[in-house]
Amino acid sequence: MTVEERRKHDRENKQLQRKLNSPYAQRVRESKRSERVKAHRRELRSSPEHREKEAAYIREYRKRPEQIIKNKARSRARFGLINGIIVRPDCCDVCKQPDKKLRNGKSGLRMDHYMGYDDEHAMIVRFICVTCDGKQMRKHD
């Protein structure tokens, strides 16, 4: 079994266990929430080696062709929003729930490039709430 096949198998098994909410899944969730495990993860993330490794990964990730296209489209849409070309609605385009401000005062609606990130569709966005965005992401997994 290749690494990709194993990852796919593990991902499918994990999704099944979550759906079933088995005792095993409950034990795994509880073990990850323990203070000892949280402290250990905090300690690992704060190490200089981890920070450098993470920074190197991010630098390489941003150089990927698909990420360059996405960032360019997001930047154009953000520019359109600032300059009034795109207008932020008062409610989610999918579920029509009113916009709820986040803790930092920003809008809870996100720009969704549902037509794609290429140049001709970069300015075509819809504004969706965090809940609808999560549902959409889970549907794609």
In order along the chain (141 residues), what is the average pLDDT of each group of 10 residues? 87 81 80 89 92 95 94 92 91 90 86 86 88 82 59
Q: Are 129 and 109 in contact (CB under 8 A)?
A: yes
Instruction: Please tell me the predicted confidence (pLDDT) of residue 84.
Output: 92
The answer as to whether 105 is a domain residue is yes
Dist. CA 137–CA 140, nearest whole Å: 5
Q: Are 111 and 87 in contact (CB under 8 A)?
A: no
Its pTM stands at 0.62
Domain count, the chain: 1
The strand ranges marked E within the chain are 110-112, 126-128
Instruction: Please tell me the predicted confidence (pLDDT) of residue 141.
Output: 59
Partnered with residue 91 across adjacent β-strands are 98
Dist. CA 64–CA 53, nearest whole Å: 17
The answer as to whether 41 is a domain residue is no
* Residue range of the domain that includes 70: 65-141
